[in-house]
Amino acid sequence: MESTTTKIYWAADSTVQTNKITTYPQTGIGQVFSLYTREGVAVINHAKNGRSTKSFIDEGRLDVIDAQIGEGDFLFVQFGHNDEKSEDPARYTEPFSTYMMNLRRYIDVARKHNAFPVLITPLERRCFVDSKHLGLGAHSDYVAAMKQTAEQNNVPLVDLYSMSRAALKKAGEQESRKWYMYFIPGIYDNYPEGKEDNTHLRYEGAVKYAGLIADGLRELGGIYKDLVL
Number of domains in the chain: 1
Amino acid at 90: A
Alpha helices by DSSP H, the chain? 29-32, 53-58, 61-68, 100-112, 140-152, 160-176, 203-220, 222-225
Question: Is 196 a residue of the active site?
Answer: yes
Question: Which residue among 59, 151, 175, 196 is the active-site one?
Answer: 196
Question: Does the CA dihedral 134-156-70-4 come out positive or negative?
Answer: positive
Model pLDDT, residue 37: 98
d(CA 224, CA 74): 9
What's phi and psi for 80, nearest 5 deg? 160, -45
- The pLDDT value given to residue 1: 38
Q: What is the CATH number of the domain that holds 170?
A: 3.40.50.1110
115 within a domain of the structure (yes/no): yes
Q: Is 200 a catalytic residue?
A: yes
Cα-based torsion angle of the residue sequence 140, 28, 41, 9 in order, rounded to the nearest 10 degrees: 60
Q: Evaluate whether residue 1 is within a structural domain.
A: no
Q: Tens place of pLDDT for every residue, the chain, 229 residues?
A: 355 799 999 999 999 999 999 888 899 999 999 999 999 999 999 999 999 999 999 999 999 999 999 999 999 999 999 999 999 999 999 999 999 999 999 999 999 999 999 999 999 999 999 988 999 988 999 999 999 999 999 999 999 999 999 999 999 999 999 999 987 666 555 555 556 789 999 999 999 999 999 999 999 999 999 999 9
| Confidence at residue 156, expressed as pLDDT on a 0 to 100 scale | 98
Contact present, 216 and 164 (Cβ < 8 Å): no
Structural domain of residue 49, as residue ranges?
A: 6-225
The predicted pLDDT at position 4 comes to 79
In this predicted structure, what is the pLDDT of residue 172? 95
Distance separating alpha carbons of residues 101 and 53, to the nearest angstrom:
9
Which residue is catalytic, options 94, 200, 204, 219? 200
